[in-house]
């Protein structure tokens, strides 16, 4: 694999500086940008470790003012005609296409992903705006006579009310649009708390929403370095009616416990431990290409990333050889540089975690075919890695890797593969490669995940319901189901 120099040239540096100067650095409350009252958050470029911008740092009092603004705007926004809400979201989609280069570069600067992937996220994130602009006008109910003939039943859908949306750092735009778009389409107002590590894209997006015509108070953004102290009073306030979170399972459990006090509607997209199963009859070229996509997209920092590669013993050696060739052709570097396919991890703790996972696996008998080290120099890089003969009990098989390590173990029978795939508390997504359609159908029915890729390494789509089972969460984002997470059902009986 090749390591590319991470130094930006003068022209690139000037463009980056201009973009960063246009990103708001305040809190967005009731349609106004406000300066913070305490030490700012310092946002780093993970490719260099250098601070690229300082932004306002919300206090618990700021968080409550944001909720006040969302509550104040709630009735008027709920009463806004669906067509008006739809057209605002569509304008936001159009503005995002016009500004896509800025958003892509900004994500690369604060999160590290290669620029080509950041452009892909603009496309993906934008689709939630377009999809839910179309769903806003399709909110429907039922009307009909009851079975006894004694009255008419009216079933209607209403916005759940003010929502608190907590987004992760790994997809700064798409995770914001995937939550904000259905909430606004349903007629809900929101307070958004972006991740401390990557808040800039959300702030930039908040300005875009204002430019698209979202009224003051409908969307409020409060980045903070003290998530718990800001979130707890918001969640405890009885005026809040919905909590949506994407992040780790331990944090999700804690938030669910807090949400239970006021019986909030909740959507939780939590951790994953995705199996990637390759049967003996699989098209190996397709399986290898799918593996590269499912593992190394977003530098492996995705809840949908393939975590455990379970390969039939008869093809495991050839699969490992082919995938190693692909991995060794990857180029490591700053995501803005031409040809870079693997950017940095998000911080030094992520690098330390990758090193510990490899060391644990090797100590238990695994073999590293390529990579396995953190290269010297600035930034938070880790070599894309292929490791085979991973033994039961290894941390690589139990923990969500969240980095560029492809870990291979083998199986001999279909039942053994299913048992291994299901031997986890998580159940977000799974991947299966087989030429046998009957076997593929069996895998859909028997592997316990909320999503599955059958002969593909990419499942995410704005028109599809995204979410998991077991400890991977509850509720769905995207698809026809996504808007219903922000609607409550009301039944009315009119006597005959």
Residues with a catalytic annotation lie at 269, 303
Cα–Cα distance measured from residue 481 to residue 182, given in angstroms and rounded to the nearest whole number: 10
Beta bridge partners of 242: 163, 265
CB atoms within 10 A of CB 314: 12
Task: Give the DSSP per-residue string, 243-254.
Answer: EEEES-HHHHHH
| Residue ranges in 329-399 assigned as alpha helix (H) | 348-363, 395-398
Q: What are phi and psi of 343, to 5 degrees?
A: -90, -165
**Are 325 and 314 within 8 A, CB to CB?**
no
How deeply is 14 buried, as exposed, middle or buried, from its count of CB atoms within 10 A (0-12, 13-18, 19+)?
exposed
**DSSP type of residue 466:** B
How deeply is 224 buried, as exposed, middle or buried, from its count of CB atoms within 10 A (0-12, 13-18, 19+)?
buried
Cα–Cα distance measured from residue 196 to residue 157, given in angstroms and rounded to the nearest whole number: 35
Considering only CA atoms, which of 284, 368, 275 is closest in space to residue 319?
284
Considering only CA atoms, which of 387, 436, 429 is closest in space to residue 275?
429
CB atoms within 10 A of CB 143: 12
Q: At what angle do helices 100-111 and 200-212 cross, to 10 degrees?
A: 160
Give every CB contact of residue 45 below 8 A, 6+ residues apart in sequence.
Answer: 52, 109, 110, 112, 379
Q: What radius of gyration, in Å, describes the C-alpha atoms of the chain?
A: 23
**H or E segment to which residue 276 belongs:** strand 274-278
Give every CB contact of residue 287 below 8 A, 6+ residues apart in sequence.
Answer: 278, 319, 433
């Amino acid at each position: 694999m090749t390591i590319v120099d991470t130094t930006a040239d003068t022209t690139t540096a000037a463009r980056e500086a201009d973009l960063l100067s246009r990103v708001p650095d305040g809190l967005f409350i009731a349609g106004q940008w406000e300066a913070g009252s305490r030490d700012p958050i310092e946002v780093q470029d993970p490719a260099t470790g250098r601070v690229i911008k300082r932004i306002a740092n919300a206090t618990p009092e700021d968080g409550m003012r944001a909720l006040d603004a969302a509550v104040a705007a709630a009735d008027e926004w709920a009463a806004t005609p669906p067509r008006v809400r739809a057209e605002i979201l569509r304008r936001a989609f159009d503005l995002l296409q016009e500004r896509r280069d800025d958003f892509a570069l900004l994500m690369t600067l604060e999160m590290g992903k290669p620029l080509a992937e950041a452009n892909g996220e603009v496309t993906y994130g934008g689709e939630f705006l377009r999809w839910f602009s179309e769903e806003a006008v399709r909110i429907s109910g039922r009307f009909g006579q009851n079975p006894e003939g004694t009255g008419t039943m009216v079933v209607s859908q209403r916005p759940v009310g003010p929502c608190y949306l907590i987004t992760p750092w790994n997809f700064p735009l798409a995770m914001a649009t995937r939550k904000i778009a259905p909430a606004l389409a349903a007629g809900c107002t929101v307070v958004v708390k972006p991740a401390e590590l990557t808040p800039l894209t959300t702030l930039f997006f908040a300005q875009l929403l204002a430019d698209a015509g979202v009224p003051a108070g409908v969307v409020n953004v409060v980045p903070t370095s003290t998530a718990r102290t800001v979130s707890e009073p918001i969640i405890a306030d009885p005026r809040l009616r919905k909590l949506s979170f994407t992040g780790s399972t331990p944090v999700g459990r804690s938030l669910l416990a807090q949400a239970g006090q006021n019986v909030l509607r909740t959507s939780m997209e939590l951790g994953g431990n995705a199996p990637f199963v390759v049967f003996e009859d699989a098209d190996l070229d397709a399986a290898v290409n799918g593996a590269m996509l499912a593992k190394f997209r977003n530098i492996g920092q995705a809840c949908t990333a393939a975590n455990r590669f379970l390969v039939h013993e008869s093809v495991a050696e050839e699969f490992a050889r082919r995938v190693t060739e692909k991995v060794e052709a990857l180029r490591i570097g700053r995501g803005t540089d031409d040809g870079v396919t693997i950017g940095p991890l998000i911080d030094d703790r992520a690098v330390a975690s990758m090193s510990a996972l490899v060391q644990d696996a090797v100590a238990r008998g695994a073999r590293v075919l390529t990579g396995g080290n953190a290269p010297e120099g600035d930034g938070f890089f880790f070599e894309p890695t292929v490791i085979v003969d991973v033994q039961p009990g290894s941390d690589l098989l139990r923990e969500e890797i969240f980095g560029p390590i492809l870990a291979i173990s083998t199986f001999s029978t279909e039942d053994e593969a299913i048992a291994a795939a299901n031997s986890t508390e998580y159940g977000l997504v799974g991947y299966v490669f087989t030429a046998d359609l009957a076997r593929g159908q069996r895998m859909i029915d028997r592997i316990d995940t909320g999503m599955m890729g059958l002969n593909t390494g990419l499942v995410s789509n704005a028109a599809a319901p995204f979410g998991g089972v077991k400890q991977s969460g509850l509720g769905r984002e995207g698809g026809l189901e996504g808007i219903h997470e922000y609607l409550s059902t009301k039944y009315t009986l009119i006597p005959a």
